Amino acid sequence: MYIPTIADMFAAHTRIKPFIHRTPVLTSEYINSVAGAELFFKCENLQKAGAFKARGASNAVFGLTDEQAARGVATHSSGNHGTCLSYAAGRRGIPCTVVMPRTAPQAKKDAVRGYGGRVVECEPSTTSREAVFAEVVAETGAEFVHPYNDHRVIAGQATCSTELIAQVDGLDAVIAPIGGGGMVSGTCLTISNFAPAIKIYAAEPEQADDAYRSFKAGRIIADDAPNTVADGLKVPLKDLTWHFVKNHVTDILTASEDEIVDAMKLIWKRMKIVVEPSSAVPLATILKNKGVFAGKRVGVIITGGNVDLDKLPWQ
């Protein structure tokens, strides 16, 4: 297991700069007054392809040799990683295949295709996904880019916090949602090197709290098919992300489905930005744990804005 270093983060940032946005940090006086803290929202919903995963995917794609690149990239993801890998591959002009359950939302399939990627459908089971994915790789020789348990991906995600701490002085804490732990691991990589006094929190839905339970138990616990409105956060930790979480995270906080939806609506209403449910989990946990953050300056990673505008969770 290769653990990415801060040098990998620097190399990633140089490599991906032409293909990503340096996203803005937004604030809301109203939300600060409600939270009793100063919150600085790093808006990766305004990132290319609508999610921070454009960073890690771009780092993986543009780090390939020409020979590797010619065979393309592949992944399995019905979420933002598939879309963002397709985006990055499209920018390099190489093939990208995304294996997705046939039951995945049409919008997700369209998003991959919109950037030029190919969708290969599998049955909605791990067995089918693995079998179909193996076929794809055997056929194409494509490079597998895992959604999060991949040092190239983590080094790419780490560039987000590098920007954040350059944009906002004197942060006391940073909080990001946790699913598989890619963004949290990247945050740990950057913060533990550059600003070790900043505390790192992870935020997770109560209904998919495997990282929380892993953190408390001291070993990876994987949920069996968790269900939450924060659909980007259903996946479990893996060895590489567990390494960062167990060594650098101060605490993992959880929020209920209603709290997540309320926080999401609050962000839309007061900050005028479109964020997906996963992005609202940190604010939900801040509002639920005001004592932890009272009077603090807190960086909040808004991870993405890819949401079905015809099916909003408060309707």
Q: Which residues of the shown chain bind a copy of itself in the complex (CB under 8 A)?
A: 24, 26, 45-46, 50, 265, 268-269, 271-275, 305, 309-310, 312, 314-315
- Residue closer to a copy of itself by CB (options 45, 187) is 45
DSSP secondary structure letter of residue 51: B
Selection from 150, 212, 146 nearest residue 178 by Cα: 212
- Residue closer to a copy of itself by CB (options 67, 272) is 272
- Residue closer to a copy of itself by CB (options 24, 141) is 24
Q: Which residues lie closer than 8 Å to 281 by C-beta, 6 or more apart?
A: 177, 203, 204, 205, 230, 233, 255, 260, 263
**248 membership: H or E segment, kind and range:** helix 239-248
Q: In Å, how far are 22, 45, 150 from 265, measured between CA atoms?
A: 25, 15, 33
Q: How far is the CB of 30 from a copy of itself (least distance, A)?
A: 8
Let me know how long the chain is.
315
Q: How far is the CB of 196 from a copy of itself (least distance, A)?
A: 31
Q: How far is the CB of 234 from a copy of itself (least distance, A)?
A: 22
Alpha-carbon gap, residue 7 to 151, rounded angstroms: 12
Q: How far is the CB of 62 from a copy of itself (least distance, A)?
A: 18
- Residue closer to a copy of itself by CB (options 102, 269) is 269
DSSP secondary structure letter of residue 304: B
Structure tokens at 247: 């060594």
Alpha-carbon gap, residue 130 to 196, rounded angstroms: 39
- Residue closer to a copy of itself by CB (options 9, 49) is 49
Selection from 204, 167, 131, 137 nearest residue 41 by Cα: 167
- Residue closer to a copy of itself by CB (options 73, 271) is 271
Q: How far is the CB of 38 from a copy of itself (least distance, A)?
A: 16
Alpha-carbon gap, residue 70 to 76, rounded angstroms: 19
Alpha-carbon gap, residue 297 to 280, rounded angstroms: 18
Classified as helix, coil or strand, 121 is strand
Q: How far is the CB of 302 from a copy of itself (least distance, A)?
A: 9
Contact call for residues 148 and 181 (beta carbons, < 8 A): yes
Alpha-carbon gap, residue 238 to 292, rounded angstroms: 28
Selection from 131, 173, 155, 145 nearest residue 40 by Cα: 173
Q: How far is the CB of 169 from a copy of itself (least distance, A)?
A: 18
- Residue closer to a copy of itself by CB (options 235, 271) is 271
Q: How far is the CB of 303 from a copy of itself (least distance, A)?
A: 12
Per the listing, tokens 């494509």 go with: 142
- Residue closer to a copy of itself by CB (options 21, 243) is 21
